[in-house]
Amino acid sequence: MTNHAYIILGPPGSGKGTQAQEISKLLNLSHISTGDIFRSIVGQDSPFGQEVAQILKSGQLVSDDITNQLVANRLAEPDAVNGFVLDGYPRNINQAKYLNTLRPELTAIYFKLSDEAVVQRLSGRRTCPTCNRIYHIKYSPPKVEGVCDDDGSHLIQRTDDTEGIIRTRLQTYHQQTELILEFYQHLGKLIELDGTPPIPEVTAKLRVTLGI
């Protein structure tokens, strides 16, 4: 096993998804986003999908039992055995401890961003429903408005990227997710980067930091 195992931490809208996509491309690792996995479950027309849809719409977290099991299964797949970039997980101490039992060797990358910047970023965010590429109407727009550069799909706004739900997600982040920063800091595994500058600048800093 290599230790090309990365977890990406930071508030919603801090650039986690975009930077995770960059690192996974550069290092040829699988990008595993629990948010994307849950959104694909929502897309399946099943009772479980409807249950998950309600949770996502509320801005709360899916239960640890479900989430941990899903991550354990995904990390056991062949493409993840030699490394991965995990984005959106862990989201609380329970999940962080569980991940430690699965893969103790990892690097945690934290993108710091203020609440005001989060709201601004998320309200302009658009995503491709086909390839999950992330855009921003002002900061990283597609070449043609509303259309994915890579596959021509019509871009969508996530149902949880609206003002009220953004506030709830931020609250969840401050109450539960922020605590795990300390957890990784104590383990000496935390790299902190300022997520405020434009995305390409943050990517450049990240590459220098990781030596990639």
Name the residues that contact ligand AMP, by CB under 6 A. Answer: 12, 34-35, 38, 55-56, 59-62, 67, 88-89, 91, 95, 160, 169
Active site annotation includes 207: no
**Using omega within 30 degrees of 0 as the cis cutoff, is the peptide bond preceding 12 cis?**
no
For residues 203 and 109, what is the distance between their CA atoms, to the nearest angstrom? 12
- Residue from 77, 105, 150, 182 binding Zn ion (CB under 5 A): 150
Instruction: Give which of ligand AMP, Zn ion, none residue 126 binds (C-beta under 5 to 8 Å, depending on kind).
Output: none
- Is 25 known to sit in a ligand binding site? no
- Within 8 A by CB and 6+ apart from 117, the residues are 13, 195, 196
Of 54, 47, 49, the closest CA to residue 37 belongs to 49
CB 180 within 8 Å of CB 187: no
Per CB under 5 A, 131 contacts Zn ion: yes
Which one of 103, 121, 125, 133 is the catalytic residue? 125
Cα distances (angstroms) measured from residue 191 to each of 59, 111, 157, 188: 27, 9, 30, 9
CB 149 within 8 Å of CB 62: no
State the minimum distance, in angstroms, from the CB of residue 210 to ligand AMP: 21
Residue 191, strand partner residues: 109
- Is 128 known to sit in a ligand binding site? yes
CB 70 within 8 Å of CB 99: no
- Is 135 known to sit in a ligand binding site? yes
Segment contacting Zn ion by CB under 5 A, of 38-46, 52-60, 64-72, 122-130: 122-130
CB 110 within 8 Å of CB 181: yes
Which one of 158, 167, 189, 205 is the catalytic residue? 158
Residues at the binding site for ATP are: 13-18, 125, 134-135, 197
Positions at the binding site for AMP: 34, 39, 60-62, 88-91, 95, 158, 169
Catalytic residues: 16, 91, 125, 158, 169
Binding positions are 13-18, 34, 39, 60-62, 88-91, 95, 125, 128, 131, 134-135, 148, 151, 158, 169, 197
Residues binding Zn ion (CB under 5 A)? 128, 130-131, 133, 148, 150-151, 153
